[in-house]
Every structure is written in structure tokens, then in C-alpha cells.
């Protein structure tokens, strides 16, 4: 067996100790005589799994009691629709567009009411984040929506919009659990789990209680936060395996890493190795304004598209896979989520330097 360093933006690496536990429990979970993949979601064994997973998420993220948690199928993209369907009570909402996903979220929301794009960084190809303090927000907006870490463009917010009386809604798909988060700053947080949490197939929403229960009568039950959350995420058959894997990853963060403050230290250190290298030479370039550089997704280009292609091919052959940048940006992107070991980043930088010397 030769495991590669997988720099994919998602689905992405899972911590090896987590995969080992999943392997050991694959045929029989506990003394249940069956796999989690096979068991009834109504069984007491699975009931304990989902309850323990939610409790762990609450501990790790320090989620206040007045927030509810929902495990929801359909990924982050379904959340683009669920947010306006459930929260756009005044008929309009503000969106800040800082990349592909926030743009898609805004377009989806416009099907349900008026969307005001109050700021955008499109003018500089999404290489920065607009200053949230100088934005003219729309009076009476139901919420302000942001994408906190821009997976494709490699940027992240360094401060949050704070609009008195208007809930902040954040897509945190590519940064959740990468560092401590003050959940009380948000009305709703959502994330697809396949970047930093679990295998693909689920999103998690963390919703302030008072924002629930306002969906109109035409909203399908399966897209109604209140219906799903009132049923403890078991309105229908939930993504049982994904929930189980989420629990294992949370246990790894809590008991092996030592919590989110330590996770953040590790992530900052990994990103610094890569950015320091990028800043130390002229062959590779990172287009993002330094202040807004993502800790999770690091983009860079070599001098030509031909060299980019050669880089990705040779990197893959050397065991560094999925480094090709998103088609909207080109070049390369190294996604260095929680599960990417520091050693993987150090070895990538060594590979980059060898490639530079051979091709400069």
C-alpha cells in the first residue's frame, strides 16, 4: 500500500487514524454484529452514534445552547436554496460575492426573493475580500450571506460583517473546524462535510433557534430546517455512514489533536511553510493579497500554462495528487485541510523547489 498526499479541494484526505478505526469497525461496530452501513437508523446503536456526534460537534465548536444542529443531505449546494427558503422573511437579503460559490449562492437565492449583491471582489478576479466595515448593507435585509473561505480562489475573511439586527449566514464548507469559531457571531453556519469533516454526502447546518420556523407553506419538508431539526435529523433515513465518520473525525480533533486551538496552530504552521516558500522565489506566483490568503487552499502558478501542466503530471507521479487548479483560475492549488500532515506540505515544497531548479 502506498498512500499519496492528496491535495484535492474536496473530497479530501481523512486522518489516517480515523480510516484505521473505520476499517477495524467496518464489519462489526461494537458488539452489534453489523456494520454501521447496514444498521437501522432507528436502532439504539445508531441513536447513540448520532447523539454522540452532535454532542462532540457542540463541544469542539463550543456551540451555544440556543443553536440547533442539523445533519442534512444534498451538500453545501442544497444549502444555497435552503437558506433563502427558510430565512428570507423580509423578501430580500444581502450577499457578498467573493468567488464562485458565493456567486452561486446569490443566484440560487434570487429564485426566492430579491438579492442585493452589496459587495464583490470580481473587479480583481476575487484575489481579495471587500472590507466588511465599509459596505452599505440594505436596511431590512433578512440576512447577510458570505462564503468565509473561498476554496477556488484561495482567500478568506479576516473579519466578519457585523450588521446590528441582521443575522450573518456563512458558508464554511472549506474552513469549518480548521480553527476556533465564535458561533454566536452567526445566525446560521453551513458546510458540506467533504472538505474537512467526513466523506461526501452531507452538509451540517448550525442554526440560531429564533431563525427557525419561518419557512412558507410551499417549502418541502425535506428542505425545511425546522422539520429536519425537530426530527433530530431523522425525518427520513439520514446519511448514517457520514454521521458516523463525522463522529470519528471529531473524536480525532478532540482527543488526538487536542482541540481547535491546536488544530489552528498546526494549520497556520503548514500554510506558513508553503506561503514562505512562495514568497522566497520568483518562479511560482500566488495572486492573492497577502492579508486574505487562505490557510486551507493555496493557489499558485508557474511561469506558463505548459509548465503548470508538467508540474501537475510530475507531482502526481511523485505521489502529490490533485494539485491542478480549478478551471476558473488555472495553475495549481494545494488544499491543505486538517488531515494533510505537515510532512506532506514540507515534501511538496521540496518537490516544488526541485521542479523550479529543473525548469527555471
Residues that bind ligand PLP (CB under 6 A): 10, 75-77, 101, 147, 151, 171, 173-174, 192, 195
Q: Among residues 151 and 299, whose Cβ is nearest to ligand PLP?
A: 151
Q: Which of 319, 248, 347 is nearest to 14 (CA)?
A: 248
DSSP state of 79: H
| Minimum distance from residue 192 beta carbon to ligand PLP (Å) | 3
Q: Among residues 29 and 95, whose Cβ is nearest to ligand PLP?
A: 95
Q: Among residues 25 and 78, whose Cβ is nearest to ligand PLP?
A: 78
Residue nearest to ligand PLP (CB): 75
| Minimum distance from residue 202 beta carbon to ligand PLP (Å) | 8
- CB atoms < 10 A from the CB of 360, how many? 11
Q: Among residues 227 and 297, whose Cβ is nearest to ligand PLP?
A: 297
253 Cβ contact list (under 8 Å, min separation 6): 60, 177, 259, 260, 263, 338
Return the exposure string of 50-82: e unless at least 16 CB atoms fall within 10 Å of the residue's CB, then b. beebbebbbebbebeeebbbbbbbbbbbbbbbb
| Minimum distance from residue 326 beta carbon to ligand PLP (Å) | 10
Q: Among residues 191 and 351, whose Cβ is nearest to ligand PLP?
A: 191
| Minimum distance from residue 226 beta carbon to ligand PLP (Å) | 22
Contact indicator for 295, 271 with CB cutoff of 8 Å: yes
| Minimum distance from residue 275 beta carbon to ligand PLP (Å) | 20
Q: Among residues 94 and 171, whose Cβ is nearest to ligand PLP?
A: 171
Between vectors from CA 20 to CA 343 and to CA 14, what angle results, nearest 5°? 50
166 Cβ contact list (under 8 Å, min separation 6): 94, 137, 141, 142, 143, 144
| Minimum distance from residue 288 beta carbon to ligand PLP (Å) | 16
Q: How far apart are CA 112 and CA 345, in angstroms?
A: 43
Amino acid at each position: 500500500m502506498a498512500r499519496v498526499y492528496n491535495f484535492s479541494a474536496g473530497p479530501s484526505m481523512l486522518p489516517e487514524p480515523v480510516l484505521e478505526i473505520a476499517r477495524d469497525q467496518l464489519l462489526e461496530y461494537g458488539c452489534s454484529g453489523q456494520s454501521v452501513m447496514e444498521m437501522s437508523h432507528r436502532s439504539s446503536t445508531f441513536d447513540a452514534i448520532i447523539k454522540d456526534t452532535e454532542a462532540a460537534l457542540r463541544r469542539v465548536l463550543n456551540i451555544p445552547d440556543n443553536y440547533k444542529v442539523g445533519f442534512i443531505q444534498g451538500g453545501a449546494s442544497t444549502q444555497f436554496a435552503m437558506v433563502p427558503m427558510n430565512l428570507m422573511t423580509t423578501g430580500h437579503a444581502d450577499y457578498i460575492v467573493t468567488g464562485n460559490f458565493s456567486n452561486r449562492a446569490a443566484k440560487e437565492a434570487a429564485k426566492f426573493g430579491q438579492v442585493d449583491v452589496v459587495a464583490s471582489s470580481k473587479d480583481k478576479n476575487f484575489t481579495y475580500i471587500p472590507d466588511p466595515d465599509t459596505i452599505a448593507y440594505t436596511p431590512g435585509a433578512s440576512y447577510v450571506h458570505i462564503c468565509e473561505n473561498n476554496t477556488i480562489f484561495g482567500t478568506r475573511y479576516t473579519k466578519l460583517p457585523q450588521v446590528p439586527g441582521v443575522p450573518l449566514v456563512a458558508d464554511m464548507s472549506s474552513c469549518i473546524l480548521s480553527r476556533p469559531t465564535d458561533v454566536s457571531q452567526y445566525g446560521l453556519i453551513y458546510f458540506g462535510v467533504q472538505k474537512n469533516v467526513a466523506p461526501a454526502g452531507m452538509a451540517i447546518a448550525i442554526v440560531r433557534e429564533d431563525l427557525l420556523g419561518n419557512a412558507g407553506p410551499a417549502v418541502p419538508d425535506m428542505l425545511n430546517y425546522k422539520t429536519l431539526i425537530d426530527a433530530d435529523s431523522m425525518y427520513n433515513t439520514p446519511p448514517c455512514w457520514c454521521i458516523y465518520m463525522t463522529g470519528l473525525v471529531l473524536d480525532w480533533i478532540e482527543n488526538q489533536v487536542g482541540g481547535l486551538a491546536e488544530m489552528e496552530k498546526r494549520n497556520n504552521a503548514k500554510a506558513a511553510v508553503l506561503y514562505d516558500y512562495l514568497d522566497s522565489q520568483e518562479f511560482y506566483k500566488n495572486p492573492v493579497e497577502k492579508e486574505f490568503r487562505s490557510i486551507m487552499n493555496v493557489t499558485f502558478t508557474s511561469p506558463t500554462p505548459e509548465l503548470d501542466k508538467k508540474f501537475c503530471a510530475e507531482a502526481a507521479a511523485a505521489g502529490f495528487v490533485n494539485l491542478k487548479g480549478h478551471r476558473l483560475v488555472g495553475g495549481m492549488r494545494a488544499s491543505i485541510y486538517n488531515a494533510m500532515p505537515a510532512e506532506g506540505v514540507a515534501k511538496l515544497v521540496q518537490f516544488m523547489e526541485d521542479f523550479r531548479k529543473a525548469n527555471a
